């Protein structure tokens, strides 16, 4: 039987979640909810779902299996806590947009609540849900790369918005840090520098160093001043290196000693694994979430779980502390 789903927060991203559920046979989008009536009504009409204007009403009147929370808020995460906690209290699985919360203490509460209730909590860390990123992960897991030594990550976009001094770090870098941890595992220590471009109030460029628990090391350069999307991940191991250019565009393997360089591209339109644009990562990530719920996997097997979203936020808060105190922070 299809999973009964509702989406909470119906602007751009909530509508994207809704369209993924709407087109997936394993899910039925039964309701949408926004405190702004017109947004809920418009989406309800578009998807043939019921409209609600408060989470309480939604939970009282619909029999659901899971919800997506796409409410945004301060630092793009200030409004995620309440609907997530309400849905978990009501016994529903939750896929929450990133950051889980802009407030790391609240993000911890969300993860703890899901654990206490035995429910699945996922984070929409969609950047690595691409065939090429998954192929690179296989190389890490099957030993082709050898023992991971270092990672070099870049995630740069143009975002002129200003909400707080650390908006750039909290709103954007759950994604890049998640990609880094995907290949390198959990972090142990962090150190950061940051610089604003002229006229900006938030620390819109950052340079972050990480030591992972495995002993491997890594660097992230992040920016909200880039003028273009630049995402690139290089990972070096004892047997070779790979470079992932873009989110899904190109993957190259460089053997360390002899052997051929291997180059893989996004397959052409119509071929299996082809991705048209970044927007397709919502399809793959939310598709994986639906599949896992449908398969009844246990909460600790959820890919890009709440715990992983929280781990990324712990690095961000550590980086902020490092920058403010000019020290290396142990996580």
Ligand X SMILES: NC(=O)c1ccc[n+]([C@@H]2O[C@H](COP(=O)([O-])OP(=O)(O)OC[C@H]3O[C@@H](n4cnc5c(N)ncnc54)[C@H](O)[C@@H]3O)[C@@H](O)[C@H]2O)c1
CB of 130 to ligand X, least distance (A): 12
Closest CA relative to residue 149, chosen from 238, 220, 234: 238
CB of 59 to ligand X, least distance (A): 11
Stretch 123-152 residues interacting with ligand X (CB under 6 A):
124, 126
Residue 286 in contact with ligand X, rule: CB under 6 A: no
Cα 309 from Cα 26, distance rounded (Å): 25
Give the CA count within 13 Å in the CB-facing half-sphere of 196.
Answer: 12
Nearer to ligand X (CB atom), residue 11 or residue 232 = 11
CB of 20 to ligand X, least distance (A): 12
Cα 243 from Cα 233, distance rounded (Å): 6
Cα distances (Å, whole numbers) of residue 14 to 6, 67, 177, 197: 10, 11, 23, 31
Only one of the segments 27-35, 143-151, 257-265, 312-320 lies at the binding site for ligand X (rule: CB under 6 A); that segment is: 27-35
Nearer to ligand X (CB atom), residue 162 or residue 188 = 162
End-to-end CA distance of the chain: 43
Closest CA relative to residue 101, chosen from 117, 77, 85: 77
Residue 284 in contact with ligand X, rule: CB under 6 A: no
Q: Are 208 and 218 in contact (CB under 8 A)?
A: no
Cα dihedral 295, 3, 282, 303 in deg (nearest 10): -30
CB of 201 to ligand X, least distance (A): 19
Nearer to ligand X (CB atom), residue 13 or residue 307 = 13
Residue 299 in contact with ligand X, rule: CB under 6 A: no
Residue 35 in contact with ligand X, rule: CB under 6 A: yes
CB of 91 to ligand X, least distance (A): 19
CB of 283 to ligand X, least distance (A): 12
Give the CA count within 13 Å in the CB-facing half-sphere of 189.
Answer: 9
**Binding test (CB under 6 A) with ligand X, winner from 20, 31, 34, 218:** 34
Closest CA relative to residue 176, chosen from 215, 141, 139, 226: 226
Residue 12 in contact with ligand X, rule: CB under 6 A: yes
User: Site for ligand X (CB under 6 A): how many residues?
Assistant: 26
Stretch 162-201 residues interacting with ligand X (CB under 6 A):
171
* Tokens representing residue 174 in the block: 């759950």
Residue 255 CA to chain centroid, in angstroms?
30
Stretch 36-95 residues interacting with ligand X (CB under 6 A):
36, 39, 55, 70-72, 76-77, 79, 82-83
Binding interface with ligand X (CB under 6 A) = 8-14, 33-36, 39, 55, 70-72, 76-77, 79, 82-83, 97-98, 124, 126, 171
């Amino acid at each position: 039987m299809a999973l009964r789903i509702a989406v909470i927060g119906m602007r751009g991203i909530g509508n994207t979640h809704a369209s993924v559920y709407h087109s997936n046979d394993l899910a039925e989008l039964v309701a949408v909810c926004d405190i702004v009536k017109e947004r809920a009504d418009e989406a309800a009409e578009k998807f043939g779902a019921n409209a609600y204007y408060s989470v309480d009403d939604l939970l009282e009147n619909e029999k659901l299996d899971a919800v997506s929370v796409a409410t945004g808020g301060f630092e793009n995460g200030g409004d995620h806590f309440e609907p997530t906690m309400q849905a978990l209290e009501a016994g529903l699985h939750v896929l929450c947009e990133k950051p889980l919360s802009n407030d790391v203490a609240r993000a911890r509460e969300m993860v703890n609540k899901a654990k206490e209730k035995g429910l699945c909590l996922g984070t929409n860390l969609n950047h690595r849900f691409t065939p090429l990123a998954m192929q690179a992960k296989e190389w890490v897991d099957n030993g082709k790369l050898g023992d991971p030594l270092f990672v070099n990550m870049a995630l740069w976009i143009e975002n002129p918005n200003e909400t707080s001094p650390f908006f750039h770090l909290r709103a954007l870098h759950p994604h890049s840090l998640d990609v880094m941890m995907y290949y390198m595992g959990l972090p142990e220590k962090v150190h950061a520098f940051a610089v604003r471009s002229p006229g900006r109030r938030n620390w819109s460029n950052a340079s972050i160093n990480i030591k992972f628990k495995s002993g491997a090391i890594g660097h992230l350069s992040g920016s909200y001043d880039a003028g273009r999307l630049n995402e690139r991940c290089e990972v070096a191991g004892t047997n070779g290196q790979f470079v992932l250019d873009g989110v899904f565009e190109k993957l190259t393997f460089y053997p360390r000693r002899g052997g051929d360089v291997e180059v893989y591209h996004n397959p052409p339109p119509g071929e299996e694994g082809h991705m048209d644009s970044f927007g397709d990562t919502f399809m793959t990530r939310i598709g994986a979430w639906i599949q896992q719920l449908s398969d009844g996997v246990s909460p600790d097997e959820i890919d890009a779980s709440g715990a992983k979203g929280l781990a990324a936020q712990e690095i961000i808060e550590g980086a902020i502390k490092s920058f403010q105190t000019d020290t290396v922070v142990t996580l």
